[in-house]
Amino acid sequence: MTPPHDHVRPSRRDLLLWGGGTLAAASLTSCSFLSTDPSTEKAGAPRSAAAKGKEAPSLAKLAADGKLPKLEERLPKNPVVLQPTEKIGTYGGTWRCALLNASDTPWLGRTLGGENLFRWDPEWNDDQKGLPNVAEKVEASADGRVFTITLREGLKWSDGEPFTADDVVFSVNDVAFNEEINPVTPYVLLSDDERATIKKLDDYTVEFTFSKPTGLFMARLATEGRFTNTPLHYLKQFHKKYNPDVEKLAKQEKYPLWKDLYGAKADGWANADKPTLNPWKIVEPLGKGNRVVAERNPYYWKTDPDGSQLPYLDRVTYDVISEPQVILLKATNGELDFTTRHINSLLNKPVLARDREKGKYHFIDLRNTLMNDMVVALNLNHKNPVLRKIFQNKDFRIGLSHAINREEMIKSIWQRQGEPWQAAPAADSEFYDEEFAKQYIEYDVAKANEYLDKAGLTQKDGEGFRLRPDGKRLTFQVEVASPSPVPFWVDGTNAVCEYWKKVGVDAKVKNEDRSLFYERKDDANEHDATVWSGDGGLKGEMLECRWYFPFSNESNYAELWRKYFESRGTNPDGEKPPPETLKQMEIYWQLLKTPDAEARKELFRQILQISKEQFYAMGVVRVAKTYGIVKNNFRNVPKVIPEAPVFNTPYPVQPAQFFIE
């Protein structure tokens, strides 16, 4: 199924349905970075010394031989002009990357895919609306109900077929609204639980109409990939509406249902035949071997200020690797050109720093938009009624929080980086609340025991562990996904469990495969407790609310309540939350239909105030800045990049303008 929030971590099944999970398309360096006006080139901007033509030599030869249309026929009427970060580049070369197992599809989306209708403001200063990208403009009605979007005329898919309004209408009416493919309507297309309608006005204009005002639609156009990722001319052969023989075709290709066939063909990472709008197109797909390869899209629709077609790089390759230490070795050997994933831990930084000269790379800064490196969440919807009652007791959670020695963890595990922090917005967020961020973080064993006693857990067994009301020892597992986005999680969780044992709570670490981790918590609700990162700390907070109320499948502390929220109470697997949590949901539903940005912010502050009072989950540490590595001859990578899933880092800095010097 498709999650109702466009920024939710996609499962493997979601990726099949969505076609690769493209996300944000934005830029970073300046407001002219994605300008459509060629005159925006900075005066005196340094150029590469090597000469280059208007297109890659390999494409020029194909065009000269009549095997490819001429460049002017491949580009749209008004191509996007990218202002390079450092200087105009030259053609050729390969961007070498690595994937941590075949499940590492987010890195494919962060490097290959992100060409949405709109993009973020270059500095992500405005997270309420996007700027033109695939679409040239949007006109919104004063009441926030009608959005008229003009597409870029003449833009083509990677196989040369036109991208038109028909593709966008197909993505809505035949995919998003098809209940066999998507049992739950995507949130981006809802207003007060009513579906939007889409109308084709002409070949390059579509009109979205909502029954009631919608406040975040403009922002979601910069994060939502579904509207630009469904080539009608290709996918219709696998769709029941367009192919009456599709069930027979599904059986021939060994899929049980036509929707499974459609999902497989729509997966742009695993299906090399699917056309794309991205700079490079998959030629060696995921799942066919130990490498993924993407090569230049001959119909890519962006140029440099000289009018030369991008991308500069010929291809992008990914070695599929099972161990992070192997990726680290490749990095120190200089075999990765640019990465911000899996190896950029504080623990690895001294190793990477030591080998910089040998590997010929340097560091860049990632501005961390997470509000926490490690959030511990008890399952407030636990299947076991005894554990559920204990976990839902706020005094119990407060006691566990006071039992954690965060300062010691920062010194011993986080390499003396970061500060103790709860699951609350960052200090440089406009929603920062010092009381929220700092509540219950004091390490105080006496106070921890006081709160645990207050929660009714006063009886202990012969080993000093607290007993549940039914007389059994209070014991549970804290589940950690592997591979983990943060390498310190296993050590951090071990430390937390040891602190809790000192106050009589028998908690144990359970390290498990990432896919199993999601199956247990998302679908089965079988988890006791989890560890994950604190998304939604800086910019995009209203789009990423997972820790502030049960908002998405990433709200690990209350999967049943979030199912109620997503379905507005219609999902039989959901559970109506308590009054305070239900009030948050009602406020957010009101926020979604509020067109005024300042009014939305005020409503969101009300949600945060309730979150502070409810104290759903425990934060441990916030690290304000992390890093990536870049080969010294790999150019046009900014020195500072925001890091956030909803920002789709690093794609907003436009990899199409990267080049090797």
What digits encode the pLDDT tens for the residues 383-398? 999 999 999 999 999 9
Diameter of the chain measured on Cα atoms: 85
Amino acid identity, position 536? G
Question: What pLDDT is stored for residue 549 in this prediction?
Answer: 97
For residue 5 the two structure tokens come to 């929030």
Question: What pLDDT is stored for residue 34 in this prediction?
Answer: 34
pLDDT tens for residues 495-527? 999 999 999 999 999 999 888 999 999 989 999
Secondary structure in 3-state letters for 404-458: CCHHHHHHHCCCCCCEECCCCCCCCCCCCCHHHHHCCCCCCHHHHHHHHHHCCCC
Residue 592 near residue 215, CB atoms below 8 Å: yes
Question: What pLDDT is stored for residue 203 in this prediction?
Answer: 98
Residue 411 near residue 359, CB atoms below 8 Å: no
Question: What pLDDT is stored for residue 122 in this prediction?
Answer: 64
Q: How many CB atoms lie within 10 A of CB 221?
A: 25
Question: What pLDDT is stored for residue 382 in this prediction?
Answer: 98
Question: What pLDDT is stored for residue 511 in this prediction?
Answer: 92
For residue 55 the two structure tokens come to 């297109």
Cα–Cα distance for residue pair 336/329, rounded to 1 Å: 10
Question: What pLDDT is stored for residue 51 in this prediction?
Answer: 64
The 8-class DSSP code of residue 473 comes to B
Dihedrals phi, psi of 303, to nearest 5 degrees: -130, 170
Tell if the pTM clears 0.75, that is, is over it. Answer: yes
Enclosing H/E stretch for 352 = helix 349-354
Give the residue ranges of the chain where pLDDT is below 70: 1-51, 122, 126-127, 483, 485
Question: What pLDDT is stored for residue 647 in this prediction?
Answer: 84
